[in-house]
């Protein structure tokens, strides 16, 4: 350890948005105990937040753990996250200096214990009380829900995360207030299945995501709330009306998970909607929240996907005119029904379909960004001279504005990658 017993810790995050939020909380607790966040080359301990969403992600996890464990300084390696929960014994056997801790709330104390540092009792509740971004991101994420009750045939996350469960509504309010007190202008509500948020309100009645959003707008001074990924059945008229009523305090963006634009593929995936339902959600969103931008996730090469199925999916996505589309090539996830399903698609075919879908995604993003030229946007500055709009478009702004500023910007042009070139004034 460096200096007068100061522990140096590196945080390596793999996987989803929720993992990133959890990594922030772990990092914050370690800092409160006097640890210093450093790169892997300098670290006495390396925390790896693992991902098991695909077979490729799991393989990357094992490689990352092995690489960390064999660094010259022989750091303590603490593996947590989905792979740690699913394959604890396999990870722990990689090397003697690897420790598996499936409980993320205990990761910081595990690091301290392995480094021979006595935890500070005054920080025992740090995980429950902090929502910082010590890893450097400007818009703090707050995980309000965990787990999933769905059983999609390509997914193993429900096994790793368990059943859906939600944070107490009062605790969400408290965390948003804490984030605002630390200078956050925008907070992002996240979850493994965000739309399944369920809590009890102050009146003793059941509360879902629209009620929570309304509560945050009335009980906090947060300037903008953003929702992360959500499933199509949870995009209700109540939620959309609540978003619209919030005006500029609610980011006009929804990432609605599609996965395929072909009904036959959706059925094989075990998804609980079809393209007609999804299209209806998109229409209602654009009707009730004018100017809303929509993002999605899309898998290509799922087992059984024919050329015709892919073309159908491609055409459907183009009709939806997404502003942001994450394209994933299907990767076998051992332990899921899809991994042994008939009709596995040739990897070269999958790669070609992925390229075509990514080309469409880039074209749609540029087209959607172009529609904002000449309009005013609220931009949160994330890096010097760069920020994001409410619709999650990248924006170039005056570099004189400090990080985490919320500025009024007018888009005057669109760069080839879909970034908005803006003139700015204070919001």
Give the pLDDT of residue 424.
81
Q: Does residue 311 sit in helix, strand or coil?
A: helix
Give residue 67's pLDDT band: very low, low, confident or very high (50, 70, 90): very high
Residue 34 above 90 pLDDT? Answer: no
What are the tokens at 376? Answer: 């005013």
Q: What is the pLDDT of residue 3?
A: 45
> What is the model's pLDDT at position 57?
85
pLDDT tens readout for residues 247-285: 999 999 999 999 999 999 999 999 999 999 999 999 999
Share of the chain above pLDDT 70, in %: 94
pLDDT at 146: 93
Beta bridge partners of residue 227, listed in sequence order: 189
Question: What is the C-alpha to C-alpha distance for residues 312 and 320, in angstroms, rounded to an integer?
Answer: 13
List phi, psi (to 5°) of 406: -110, 115
Say how far apart CA 266 and CA 258 lie, in whole Å. 9
Model pLDDT for residues 282-333, shown as the tens digit of each residue: 999 999 999 999 999 999 999 999 999 999 999 999 999 999 999 999 988 8
Other CB atoms within a 10 A radius of the CB of residue 103 amount to 11
- The encoded tokens of residue 14 equal 């793999």
Residues of the chain with pLDDT > 90, as a percent, come to 74
Chain centroid, CA 307 distance in Å: 31
CA 362 from centroid of its chain's CA atoms: 20
Q: Which pLDDT score, from 0 to 100, does residue 220 have?
A: 97
Q: Residue 285: its pLDDT value, please?
A: 98
Model pLDDT for residues 353-388, shown as the tens digit of each residue? 999 999 999 999 999 999 999 999 999 998 899 999
pLDDT at 172: 96
β strands within 301-392, DSSP E: 324-329, 376-383, 386-388
Q: How do residues 110-123 score in pLDDT, each as one tens digit?
A: 999 999 887 654 44
Contact status, residue 314 vs residue 283, Cβ threshold 8 Å: no
Q: For 119-167, how does the pLDDT look when each residue is reduced to its tens digit (9 = 90+)?
A: 654 444 444 334 334 445 568 899 999 999 999 999 998 888 899 999 9
> Phi and psi for 230 in degrees, rounded to 5?
-145, 150
pLDDT of residue 130: 41
Counting Cα atoms < 13 Å in the Cβ hemisphere of 28 gives: 24
Distance CA 194, CA 199 (A): 12
Predicted pLDDT at 4: 45
C-alpha–C-alpha distance, residues 70 and 76, integer Å: 10
In the chain, DSSP finds a helix count (H) and a strand count (E) of: 14, 19
- 190-221 b/e (C-beta count within 10 Å ≥ 16 → b): bbbbbbbbbbeeeeeeebbbbbbbbbbbebbe
Q: What is the mean pLDDT of residues 38-45?
A: 94
Q: Read off the pLDDT of each residue in 200-212 and give the average, rounded to a whole number.
A: 90
Angle between helix 17-32 and 107-114 (nearest 10): 50
Give me the pLDDT at residue 124, please.
Answer: 44
**Which distant-in-sequence residues (6+ apart) come within 8 Å of 146 by Cβ?**
18, 161, 162, 164, 165, 166, 191, 192
pLDDT at residue number 426: 64
Q: pTM of the predicted model, to two decimals? A: 0.84
């Amino acid at each position: 350890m460096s200096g007068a017993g100061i522990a140096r810790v590196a945080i390596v995050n793999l996987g989803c948005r929720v993992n990133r939020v959890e990594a922030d909380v772990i990092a914050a607790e370690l800092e409160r105990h006097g640890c210093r966040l450093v790169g892997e080359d300098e670290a006495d301990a390396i925390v790896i937040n693992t991902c098991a969403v695909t077979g490729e992600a799991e393989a990357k996890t094992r490689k990352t753990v092995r690489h960390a464990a064999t660094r010259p300084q022989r750091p303590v390696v603490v593996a947590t996250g989905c792979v740690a929960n699913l394959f604890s014994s396999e990870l722990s056997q990689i090397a003697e200096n690897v420790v598996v801790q499936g409980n993320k709330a205990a990761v910081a104390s595990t690091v301290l214990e392995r480094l021979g540092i006595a935890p500070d009792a005054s920080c025992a509740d740090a995980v429950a009380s902090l929502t910082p971004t010590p890893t450097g991101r400007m818009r703090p994420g707050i995980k309000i829900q965990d787990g999933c009750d769905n059983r999609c045939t390509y997914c193993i996350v429900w096994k790793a995360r368990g059943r859906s469960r939600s944070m107490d509504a009062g605790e969400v309010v408290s965390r948003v207030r804490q984030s605002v007190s630390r200078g956050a202008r925008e907070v992002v509500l996240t979850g493994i299945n965000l739309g399944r948020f369920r809590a009890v309100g102050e009146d003793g009645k059941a509360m879902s995501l629209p009620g929570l959003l309304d509560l945050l707008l009335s009980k906090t001074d947060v300037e903008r709330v953003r929702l992360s990924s959500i499933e199509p059945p949870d995009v209700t008229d109540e939620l959309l009306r609540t978003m619209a009523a919030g005006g500029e305090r609610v980011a006009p963006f929804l990432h609605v998970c599609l996965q395929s634009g072909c009904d036959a593929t959706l059925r094989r995936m075990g998804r609980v909607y079809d393209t007609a339902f999804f299209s209806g959600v998109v229409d209602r969103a654009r009707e009730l929240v004018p100017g809303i931008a929509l993002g999605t996730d899309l898998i290509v090469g799922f087992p059984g996907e024919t050329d015709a199925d892919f073309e159908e999916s491609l055409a459907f996505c183009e009709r939806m005119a997404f502003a942001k589309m994450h394209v994933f090539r299907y990767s076998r996830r051992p332990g899921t029904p899809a991994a042994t399903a008939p009709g596995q698609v040739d990897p070269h075919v999958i790669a070609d379909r992925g390229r075509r879908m990514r080309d469409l995604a880039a074209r749609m993003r540029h087209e959607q960004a172009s529609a904002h030229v000449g309009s005013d946007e609220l931009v949160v500055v994330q890096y010097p001279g760069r920020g994001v709009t409410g619709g999650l478009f990248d924006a170039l702004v005056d570099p004189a504005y400090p990080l985490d500023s919320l500025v009024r910007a007018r888009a005057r042009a669109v760069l080839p990658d879909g970034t908005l070139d803006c003139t700015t004034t204070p919001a």
